[in-house]
Amino acid sequence: MHSHDETDDENVYDALATADDDGRWAFGTGFDAGTAEIDAPVPDGVDRDDLATYCLMLADDALVASQRLSGWTTKAPELEEEVALANIALDLLGQARVLLARAGHLGAAEPYRGERSDGKGGCAGPQDDEDVLAYFRDDRAFRNVTLVETDLGDFAQTVAWLLVLASWRLALLRRLTGSRDPVLAAVAGKAVKELTYHRDYAAQWVLRLGDGTALSHARMQAGLEAVWPFVEELFTAHAVERRLVDAGVAVDPTELRWEVDAVLDQVLPAATLTRPERPAVGLVGGRGGRDGVHTEALGLVLAVMQSLARAHPEATW
């Protein structure tokens, strides 16, 4: 897979550690998201803090979903599916990184710099922002929807979760390609192609398992039922979103319902599955993941994702 060979003066691992000064921090990858677009000016009439929060919302959806999907690595039913889920996780991580870098550029990382125990509070740059935001925020500071933090259960529940998530995010980001914020528009333009592929993958599996054996059908229906209570929150607009919709920057999530429904109406009957009727959860007094009100599941996700970075903030590899 690699062009490097024995005669190269450096191998890939050396390159990771030395290519950029930032690479010495173990939890980066030695690449930064680039500065050509991240530092684009805030569009006229747009509140800087609102834009930063919105970037965090979309970043955290992708970051937490990516972390959840990564949990299948070494455990997927078949090698091909493991590669598929890891690839999807990687795409989502890539989307999250650019959005976190944009949020960081807009100042979202500043409150968390003190959390770093290595005394490098003054470090600047997109990569540093990404890492601070990913590893040094507590669960209350995450702005993801509840769906992405839920335990993925078995493979059937995972593909039900992915079908809902990819259909919703595709509908959202397709509209976001017209955002007045150039970074959001660029991230969305790239992500739409990826999400289309993720949705296809999930739909094919929902179809195969739903319209399969009696056992696979029962488990596919159960998986769908488990995911269903978290769907309603996806179509709930937060005050930040509403303000940014008015400013031509954000997408109104209440407009996405018909498009997601159309996908489910196409897939579920073909897969001989029944559309669940289960009460919504995820909102407490009208507040949910977008306000930092999460289920206990997020704490477990973050414990796995963040513990190494917090225990060894100066570790290198």
- Contact residues for another protein (CB under 8 A)? 1-4, 12, 15-16, 19, 29-31, 33-37, 80, 83-84, 87-88, 90-95, 97-98, 170-171, 174, 182, 185-187, 189-194, 196-197, 199-201, 203-204, 207, 259, 262-263, 266-267, 270
d(CA 63, CA 125): 19
Tell me whether residue 20 or residue 115 sits nearer to another protein (CB atom).
20
CA-based torsion, 30, 33, 36, 40: positive or negative: negative
The minimum distance between CB 66 and another protein, in angstroms, equals 8
- Side-chain half-sphere CA neighbours of 166 within 13 A: 29
Angle of helix 214-227 versus helix 155-176 axis, rounded to 10: 50
> Measured from the CB atom, is 3 or 213 closer to another protein?
3
Q: Which is nearer to another protein, 143 or 169 (CB)?
A: 169
Q: Which is nearer to another protein, 39 or 49 (CB)?
A: 39
- Number of other CB atoms surrounding residue 8 within 10 Å: 12
How crowded is the C-beta side of 129, counted as CA atoms within 13 Å? 28
Q: Which is nearer to another protein, 256 or 298 (CB)?
A: 256
Distances (CA, A) of 53 to 24, 50, 250, 252, 307: 29, 5, 11, 15, 24
Of 33 and 134, the one with the shorter C-beta distance to another protein is 33
Q: How far apart are CA 48 and CA 126, in angstroms?
A: 17
Q: How far is the CB of 117 from another protein (least distance, A)?
A: 27
Give the nearer residue to another protein in terms of CB position, either 200 or 246.
Answer: 200
Closest contact distance (angstroms) between CB of 94 and another protein is 3
**Residue nearer to another protein on the CB measure, 26 or 240:** 26
Please report how the helices 182-210 and 257-270 are oriented relative to each other, as an axis angle in degrees rounded to 10: 20
Minimum gap (Å) between residue 105 Cβ and another protein: 14
- Collapse the DSSP code of 284 into the 3-class scheme (helix H, G, I; strand E, B; otherwise coil) and give the result: strand
- Rounded Cα distance between 227 and 164, Å, is 8
In Å, the largest CA–CA distance within the chain is: 63
* 36: its two tokens: 């050509």
Q: What is the rounded CA–CA span in Å between residue 228 and residue 13?
A: 43
Q: How far is the CB of 71 from another protein (least distance, A)?
A: 17
| Residue that is written with structure tokens 């990184």 in the block | 97
- How far apart are CB 162 and another protein at their closest, in Å? 13
Cβ at position 251, least distance to another protein in Å? 13
Chain centroid to Cα 63, Å, comes to: 4
Nearest distance in Å: CB 307, another protein: 22
Are 225 and 29 a contacting pair, CB within 8 Å? no
